[in-house]
Amino acid sequence: MTTIYLDNNATTRTAPEVLEAMTPYLTELYGNPSSMHTFGGQVHKKIEDARGQVAALINAEPEEILFTSCGTESDNTALMSAVETYPLKKHLITTRVEHPAVLNLCHHLGRKGFRTTYLPVNALGQLDPAALDNAVDDDTAIVSIMFANNETGVIFPVETIAHRLQEQGILFHTDAVQAAGKIPLDVKKTPVNMLTLSGHKLHAPKGIGALYVRKGTRFHPYIIGGHQEHGRRAGTENAASIIGFGKAAELARTNHLEEITYLGRLRDRLEQGLLNSCPHTRVNGDIASRLPNTTNISFEYIEGEAILLRLNEYGICASSGSACTSGSLEPSHVLRAMGVPYTAVHGSIRFSLSRYNSEKDIDTVLEVMPNIIQELRELSPFGRDMQANSQVQAKE
């Protein structure tokens, strides 16, 4: 059975070009980039090239990029740097729909005496910049607001927010893990202080991330030890993965517009097809401001996990709002923050596409899904009531 992989916001396939770029640095070119000899020096040179490639993806300067082990580490580094460099400030601002990499750190800091404002979102998953204005005070150490949401794909007005916070002199970090490679990012136009990236969301391997730190931003390292990354992140560099990340960033940048158009077309066909063929479905999230590869659809009155298991029988990989980030069966905090009704939160499925998906993948999902939904609704007591009501209404 072939795999139809529609879970690209969870992780992506490593691009063959990326693997090819990495291979020499996993085999014969194993020198330590910090060594004095030429053997290590050539690895150092490739790491610096990768820094330039990652910087170019977001229009940053190479020296503003530091490599980390993942998006989570970059998020933690950004927030902890603010806490360390502004020791008298005890207020953090974020949103209710962030990734646990930010939310759980804020909860942790809450137990250490910090106060966090969690900004609400509306029914479309959108943020109101005015609510941020009201939340900022003299005690605010940092504002951390994601660029795009991992569950719904909703894009926040980060450029507007960045300008407002810059005027007020408030430190601003954005988690751009899901946005990078899917929409254009430009830190010259969007004056954030720090920005998080993760390699495995854009066809580099797992276990490599980056943090952009704008020149002039006060910074404190999170991992302390050797002098690597100009003293900003200790630990011998994950050279092969950094080099792979550089290649992935270059691929994302050079294929950008075609890829955005392609993904958007496939996603829209999938979404429209499912809405047309499966009754009692709804799209979660602001379709006017959304990543081109993501759709989050609620199939009301059924459990998302049951749908995933049935899709899995056909080799189709997607994820449900509940289990995708936490591995728990808690209903999605993102959909709950949007006020999505209980019966729809539980039946929500996220499909997230990549350049490796084809029209045929979409055809297969559209072929199998209506039956899966109908069968599961017949098994569900709520679903049976709902279908009976619909039939009565149709006759009336």
List active site positions.
324
Q: Does position 95 bind ligand PLP by CB under 6 A?
A: no
Taking the least distance from each CB to ligand PLP, the nearer of 195 and 373 is: 195
Q: Which is nearer to ligand PLP, 148 or 170 (CB)?
A: 148
Measured from the CB atom, the residue of 94 and 380 that comes closer to ligand PLP is 94
203 contacts ligand PLP (rule: CB under 6 A): no
What's the CA gap between 177 and 144, in Å, rounded?
13
CA nearest to 25, candidates 203, 198, 241, 229 = 241
Strand order in the sheet with 194-198: 65-68, 209-213, 194-198, 172-175, 140-144, 91-95, 115-119
Residue 209 interacts with ligand PLP (CB under 6 A)? yes
Q: Quick check: 194 binds ligand PLP (CB under 6 A)?
A: no
User: Is residue 333 part of the contact set for ligand PLP (CB under 6 A)?
Assistant: no
Position 81 contacts ligand PLP (CB under 6 A): no
Give every CB contact of residue 145 below 8 A, 6+ residues apart in sequence.
93, 94, 95, 98, 119, 127, 132, 156, 158, 161, 172, 173, 174, 175
d(CA 147, CA 159): 9
CA-closest candidate to residue 62, choices 187, 200, 148, 203: 187
**Total number of residues that touch ligand PLP (CB under 6 A):** 14
> Is 211 one of the binding residues for ligand PLP (CB under 6 A)?
no
What is the secondary structure of 216-229 as a DSSP string?
T-----SS-SS-HH
| Residue 71 found at the interface with ligand PLP (CB under 6 A) | yes
Name which position in 47, 79, 97, 146 contacts ligand PLP (CB under 6 A). Answer: 146
Work out which of 15, 101, 291, 365 binds ligand PLP, going by CB under 6 A: 101
Our finding on whether 337 is near ligand PLP (CB under 6 A) is no
Measuring CA to CA, which residue among 101, 73, 205, 74 is closest to residue 64?
74
Nearest approach, Cβ of residue 252 and ligand PLP (Å): 16
- Enumerate binding residues for ligand PLP (CB under 6 A): 70-72, 75, 99, 101, 146, 150, 175, 177-178, 198, 200, 209
